[in-house]
Structure 1
């Protein structure tokens, strides 16, 4: 949670994200975001003409002041139920978003470069995946779900994505079929956060959507794990059993502290489809909220691009083709927005270039979706690594030939990311 705070209310223990307002001509620039450790820092900011600051309470050592906490809770309670819906015939997604929210000034800014954020994101991602694996095992064993842990993990994800959209998104490209069940929870939370940020949704909605995504498939832990991890296709009887995970997820989440109607909507409706062919209730069209439609897209995209016991991961571009071709099932406007958000070649993808090199996609180009910014690192003709060099393909004659799997060139993606992106 980020809040604009007057300098008079700044206290030691608060984490400053950026200067929000300052006296004209003071020219204050905070070079490094960080914790306010003592009153001397506050006095210096006052002397330099700082009037308001963006405070990130997800990283602060003190709680949100009572008056702001009450305001945020009131906003969440009053607005979550009214989260906008889109219809199949909507001309644009923006029509479904409240005008006051579309023009609302954001309280966060993306200041960290990819490399600045990646180190922290990698550590957080690895730590949280271990925690989620442990939680999943506990639930499978019949223990109660630890909501405080899921809250903590989802807050970490939102904080990182708001600082830089690409760092966490790159990590969703790391595949492990034996960890799919809990990595899918984390990956979906990351992807929905990136997507919601791209759409300009307010932070209190993004936070709810991240937790909703963490919970959407937790019911899988209640089903026989031999069934969930079965190689090959399900029989009709097995598929009926698997569908029960929706009811399990809903039952485990409903009534827990902090659970909102928006989260429950995402959980119960993420397998529903616009044409009514989904489950468990076969609802369709206008009955499906924007949040449920977004969750459906993210859920399918991650499932297609992940290694699972019954299949190998497919490339993101093929997942996007599937979503585009399924206009009757997935909101076509949202699918277009998702592809624009992720890019034709999402960050973390390895692409083969026309100059016989491999490049790691670092960033998309909004005005040239097929020409991302890449880090060239490998010679495919002579099969050896080369000195890394960043290249904006929109300013180059070099083009992407195709995306490739890391194993095609005996590359370990996790190791590659650390070698190329850790400062």
Structure 2
């Protein structure tokens, strides 16, 4: 049952269903969740929201004593909070005692198809970059079949495609990033109910948006330390370089040229190469800016750790002036409040990886439980939709706080259906320099 109350009546344990002014007025990136911290209630009050709607069937009601804050109730089993800082120190990490599964799971057909599409795309895009470096034109006959394959794969199983594109090695990042941005744009455009032609054009735009990087040395793209000003200036030339290359390839859809040239612009005018702002930026340019940054910050790079999907969405929403906030809200709706690849804690005190969205209930995606928190052991995998009737999501977690530098390997093993075998270690996360 839904009940409207004054914001100051909010208590820990209440299930927040909605706020006055809609989700975009909310100070939180999640639209619906259980209030577990006094800081969350303080945020609601400080945001100026007069009333909220709670669901008493999913949490405590009015006049019921508050549940204890999560920081008190679960202190013994919770890793230290990382806050919103990019530098994290962990004093003591739990030890994972692996229980190996006897054999690798059979790869589901949609995942196998997505893997095949990504492998073909990597090969074609890598060859295209090599030929462009030699002064040859982009061969559209080799690129256009990828557009149809990526669109079909995303339409068939978005989770499978986004799962596969999250796995990037150092030497193939630029190529898989192009596929990932194309896939994200397809899903985003379909969510926005764009026409089939618009969807295909955006898929092509995603595949080609970074072609200007073919003029940037790989050692600079993969540099482990922060870029010097002159090095960053060189990288900032890639939108214009790419636009010039694509403009020479006739015919090229205008949206592809637009995305290539403007995917690093910001709505506040502080982007590059031209410092355009607001309505000067097309819908496609604003969409591509969101997809480009989302995939970049959720990817492991030599110079930064990967952010969890939910952490990335929360931070992107806090960057006022960077993105079109209304459009960012639609993007978050499209990939879910617990996106594919998110590490979550379940009510059963297990850790699980989100492996598929759930359009019917975005709060209950399909997850793969693999680790028991109280015993500090990995457990046989269990795939399920995290509904209230099975094992609902308690909150998102940060993989590097549980598994240290081995988290990318643990994530890959769980995603592949095998048991991780690793020890966690103290962690210090690196600071971020987004290069695009």
TM-score normalized by the length of structure 1: 0.67
Which position in structure 2 is the counterpart of 1:312? 305
Mapping for residues 274-289 of structure 1, pairs under 5 Å: 274-289=267-282
Cα deviation, residue 272, structure 1: 1.0
CA distance in 1, matches of 2:302, 2:370: 31
CA distance in 2, matches of 1:144, 1:256: 7
1:168 aligns with 2:168: no
The structure whose residues are more often helix, as a share, is 1
Which of 252-261 and 351-360 deviates more?
351-360
1:250 to 219, 243, 252: 243
Tell me the SS of whatever aligns to 1:307: coil
Are the aligned partners of 1:377 and 1:388 in contact in 2 as well (CA < 8 Å)?
yes
Which position in structure 2 is the counterpart of 1:405? 399
Are the aligned partners of 2:159 and 2:357 in contact in 1 as well (CA < 8 Å)?
no
Which position in structure 2 is the counterpart of 1:384? 378
Cα 1:212/1:277, change in 2 over 3 Å: same
Cα 1:261/1:127, change in 2 over 3 Å: closer
Per-residue CA distance 1:69-93 (angstroms, 9 max, x = gap): xxxxxxxxxxxxxxxxxxxxxxx9x
Are the aligned partners of 1:166 and 1:347 in contact in 2 as well (CA < 8 Å)?
yes
2:417 to 403, 416, 419: 419
Are the aligned partners of 1:216 and 1:267 in contact in 2 as well (CA < 8 Å)?
yes
Which position in structure 1 is the counterpart of 2:322? 329
Which position in structure 1 is the counterpart of 2:423? none
CA distance in 2, matches of 1:240, 1:387: 47
Unaligned stretches of 5+ residues in structure 2: 1-23, 25-106, 419-436
TM-score normalized by the length of structure 2: 0.65
CA distance in 2, matches of 1:138, 1:311: 30
1:300 aligns with 2:298: no
Cα deviation, residue 341, structure 1: 0.9
Cα deviation, residue 153, structure 1: 1.9
Cα deviation, residue 185, structure 1: 0.7
Cα deviation, residue 412, structure 1: 4.5
Are the aligned partners of 2:344 and 2:397 in contact in 1 as well (CA < 8 Å)?
yes
2:183 to 170, 180, 190: 190
Tell me the SS of whatever aligns to 1:393: coil
Cα deviation, residue 168, structure 1: 0.7
Mapping for residues 28-39 of structure 1, pairs under 5 Å: none
Are the aligned partners of 1:368 and 1:394 in contact in 2 as well (CA < 8 Å)?
no
Cα deviation, residue 147, structure 1: 2.7
Per-residue CA distance 1:171-194 (angstroms, 9 max, x = gap): 222232332111111110111111
Tell me the SS of whatever aligns to 1:386: strand
1:211 to 204, 227, 238: 204
Which position in structure 1 is the counterpart of 2:173? 180
Mapping for residues 46-57 of structure 1, pairs under 5 Å: none
Per-residue CA distance 1:85-106 (angstroms, 9 max, x = gap): xxxxxxx9xxxxxxxxxxxxxx
Cα deviation, residue 141, structure 1: 5.0
CA distance in 2, matches of 1:192, 1:298: 7
Which of 350-359 and 244-253 deviates more?
350-359
Cα deviation, residue 157, structure 1: 0.4
CA distance in 2, matches of 1:351, 1:187: 22
Which of 121-130 and 403-412 deviates more?
403-412
Cα 1:236/1:254, change in 2 over 3 Å: same
Higher relative contact order (CA 8 A, sep 6+): 2
CA distance in 1, matches of 2:344, 2:174: 27
Cα deviation, residue 404, structure 1: 4.2
2:331 to 312, 316, 338: 338
Cα deviation, residue 278, structure 1: 0.9
- CA-atom RMSD, angstroms? 2.6
Are the aligned partners of 2:338 and 2:363 in contact in 1 as well (CA < 8 Å)?
yes
CA distance in 1, matches of 2:246, 2:397: 39
